[in-house]
């Protein structure tokens, strides 16, 4: 059955017109879904009983089934495994920081990109997630957070999948997340993370000039990046950086580059020097992420002093760089660890 969350505002209005409902009806439903965050048609007591029954026969609210969930021992991270209607898995992670609460949303079940260090990539692409399935991930956590009076502040589209390869649905979901009559998550609080699909980066710039863009670079030259990220053979670093330059010119927004540091593979001072050189002059920030271990990749994070040296070289090149230890690595919820499995 179709999820009501798959309808954007215009589609909902059109649908309600088609079943001869008054013009104000969409507002009641929209408010119930995204402000009250009802998860059952029975809660829509503001609707006539007959309409409630009709909607219940034609739409579910969420199409996701909760399959498993796990908390980190410090309670700051929760990972949820959902099952899609076709049985494929997706994972969503809630991360609590002192000043914000972020949800890391999946945009695909599995992923076709196949980055060597990533557990999701090992699955291949299983399913493109619909707009409603992305919103259902957010609402699952937002309901609990609102009850505890700690509303969700940030969304990062950084979970399973490559969002720019499912862009139409991702775009629709972002528009609903951002909607002032609903969840009202501010543009500056939404980040899309991509491995780098040049033409889609430009489309994203046109569609969402106020959102944050993170680009997973992970290497400073094509020889290394080809080995880690197979799609680099199609879209090499020069093509990617050209798209990023155009993105910055269009939006005047700072881009974040993600760089997973892998001992003896991309963590040498010479790599940092090369990275400093290719990023020179770009309005950017680099997040240095020590590799999170996964079962299928033979690699280790570098020792801390080597990571700090790498950071120092970038800073010497006037490239701001931050060392980021992923939250939730202990529960396999860190970057590259989402494998769609129960615990
Ligand atoms: S790192 Fe991202 S793009 Fe690469 S395989 Fe994993 S989910 Fe896909």
pLDDT at 342: 66
As a 3-state breakdown, the chain gives helix, strand, coil percent values, each rounded to 5, of 40, 20, 40
Task: Please confirm, yes or no, whether 335 is among the known catalytic residues.
Answer: yes
Residue 343's pLDDT is what? 61
CA of 331 to the centre of ligand 1 (A): 18
Q: What does the pLDDT look like over 98-128, one tens digit per residue?
A: 899 999 999 999 999 999 999 999 999 999 9
Q: Pick the atom of ligand 1 nearest to 162's CA.
A: 3
Nearest atom within ligand 1 for CA of residue 335: 1
**Ligand 1 pocket member 230 (CB < 6 A):** no
Q: What is the CATH number of domain 4-58?
A: 1.10.150.530
Measured CA to CA, the distance from residue 68 to residue 282 in angstroms comes to 42
Q: Give me the pLDDT at residue 145, please.
A: 83
Q: What's the ipTM?
A: 0.99
The closest alpha carbon to 47, from 68, 67, 28, belongs to 28
Task: Sketch the domain layout of the chain as residue ranges.
Answer: 4-58, 65-331
pLDDT at position 269: 98
What pLDDT score was predicted for residue 148?
Answer: 78
For 215-272, the pLDDT digits (tens) are: 999 999 999 999 999 999 999 999 999 999 999 999 999 999 999 999 999 999 999 9
For the chain (343 residues), the mean pLDDT of every run of 10, in chain order, is 97 98 97 97 97 97 95 90 96 93 97 93 94 98 84 95 98 98 96 97 98 98 97 97 98 98 97 97 97 88 97 97 84 77 67
Architecture of domain 65-331: Alpha-Beta Barrel (3.20)
What is the predicted pLDDT for the residue at 331? 72
162 CB near ligand 1 (under 6 Å): yes
């Amino acid at each position: 059955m179709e999820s009501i969350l798959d309808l954007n505002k215009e589609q909902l209005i059109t649908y309600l017109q088609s079943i001869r409902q008054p013009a104000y009806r969409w507002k009641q439903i929209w408010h119930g879904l995204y402000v009250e965050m009802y998860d059952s048609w029975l809660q829509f007591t503001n609707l006539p009983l007959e309409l409630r029954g009709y909607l219940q026969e034609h739409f579910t609210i969420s199409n996701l089934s909760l399959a498993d969930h796990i908390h980190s021992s410090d309670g700051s991270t929760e990972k949820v495994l959902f099952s899609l209607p076709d049985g494929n898995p997706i994972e969503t992670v809630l991360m609590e920081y002192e000043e914000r609460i972020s949800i890391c949303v999946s945009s695909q079940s599995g992923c076709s990109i196949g980055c060597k260090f990533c557990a999701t990539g090992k699955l291949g692409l299983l399913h493109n997630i619909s707009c409603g399935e992305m919103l259902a991930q957010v609402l699952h956590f937002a309901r609990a957070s609102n009850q505890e009076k700690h509303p969700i502040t940030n969304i990062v589209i950084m979970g399973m999948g490559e969002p720019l390869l499912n862009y139409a649905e991702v775009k629709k979901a972002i528009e609903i997340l951002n909607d002032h009559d609903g969840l009202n998550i501010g543009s500056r609080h939404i980040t899309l993370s991509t491995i780098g699909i040049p033409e889609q980066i430009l489309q994203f710039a046109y569609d969402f000039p106020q959102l944050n863009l993170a680009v997973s670079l992970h290497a400073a030259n094509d020889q290394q990046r080809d080995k880690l990220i197979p799609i680099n053979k199609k879209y090499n670093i020069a093509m990617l950086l050209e798209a990023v330059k155009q993105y910055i010119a269009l939006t005047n927004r700072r881009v974040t580059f993600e760089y997973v540091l892998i001992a003896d593979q991309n963590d040498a001072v010479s790599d940092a020097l090369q990275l400093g050189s290719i990023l020179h002059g770009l309005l950017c920030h680099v997040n240095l992420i020590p590799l999170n271990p996964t079962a299928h990749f033979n690699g280790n994070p570098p020792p801390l002093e080597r990571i700090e040296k790498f950071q120092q070289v970038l800073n010497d090149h006037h490239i701001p760089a931050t060392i980021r230890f992923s939250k939730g690595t202990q529960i396999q919820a860190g970057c590259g660890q989402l494998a769609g499995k129960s615990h």
